[in-house]
Copies of this chain bind each other. A is one copy, B any other.
Amino acid sequence: MSQFWSDRIHQLTPYTPGEQPKDVQYIKLNTNENPYPPSEAVQQAIIAASGDDLRLYSDPSATDLKSAIAEFYSVDITNVFVSNSSDEVLAHTFVALLKHDAPLLFPDISYSFYPVYCKLFDIESMQIPLTDNFEIDIKDYPKENGGIIFPNPNAPTGKALSLEVIEQFLQAHPNSVIVIDEAYVDFGADSAISLINQYDNLLVVQTFSKSRSLAGLRVGFAVGNSALIEGLERVKNSFHPYALARNAIAGATASIKDVANFDKNRQKIIATREKATTALEALGFEVIPSSANFVFAKPPQGFEAESLYLQLKNKGILVRYFNAPRIDGYLRITIGTDDEMSSLSRALKEIIT
């Protein structure tokens, strides 16, 4: 508390990220990082852009990166926005496109940063409960709204909506911006980017942190109608025009171009997820079918999620436990390597049996 703080700051409850232990001995299955490193090509591109030219500002429009994304998704470069992490892309989106008179709508269970942005930017919101099966039901979303945002697949449930349902949203709310937050889409859902030329109210947000193994580089992007993108550019250019470092632009560009490595790693993670799901079910867990690089799992009868989280931590394995209504009976477990998931299964077996 300080007399010098602006009014709004007193009311903020910042997002709590997953633990980032400095003791690296943990098996880290708590922040949905990719277990596989970025490819050699990506690392080389970053290193090549980390020389003497770092004395010079980066390209404020990050044209190389936007072009690569546009080509990868067969859209125009004016449909692409890039910035420093998808959190920042989301923040700019809330400011540019989601602050209106009617409340912004999002599921009660979804990325826990959404209510934080609403507080920071003074945006009225309404949280729409997921169904008892943790489903987003379009019938629950009122006509009167200032925008709709949800992750697809949803977090932390891992459940994905089909493009058919997303089109129903877009058609039912033609005067609202619909933001699909696709942080995890590459692990088993269909991207709505294929719909942006049909729907001028659709913005798709993605990140390099998960499927592209670049959580430590901080790059995110959005794809949508060029008028929406221009709104984002206005905010970004009123905030920090040079959002991305030279080597971040270079590394992200190389990542988009390295399709083979991208496909290989996400397929490995999907395969490991299916094995891990089977192993958890064999231990009595109820595992929600996941389209993401994590599973959301309910411990067997007689075991508390929080206690399991703590016991796993004692055994050197970090998973994520949310002390929040409706989801405090679950653990969110990031999919690591096959070996890491076997360690998890062994540790859980020791605790449970």
Contacts and interface: CB of A to CB of B under 8 A. Distances in A.
7 contacts: A8-B99, A37-B52, A37-B54, A47-B47, A50-B247, A57-B209, A217-B245
A99 B5 CA distance: 8
A33 B55 contact: yes
Contacts of A50: 43, 46-47, 50, 247, 251
A100 B6 contact: yes
A283 interface: no
Contacts of A51: 37, 43
Given A54-B216, A235-B120, A9 B245 contact: no
B87 A4 contact: no
A160 B197 CA distance: 53
A282 interface: no
Contacts of A247: 46, 50, 216-217, 247
A214 interface: yes
Nearest to A210: B55
A231 interface: yes
Contacts of A60: 17, 20
A75 to B, nearest CB: 18
A345 interface: no
Contacts of A231: 2, 4-6, 9
Interface stretch (A161-169, A236-244, A296-304, A321-329): A236-244
Contact of A228 (B4, B117, B233): B4
A22 B52 contact: no
Contacts of A55: 33-38, 213-216
A80 to B, nearest CB: 17
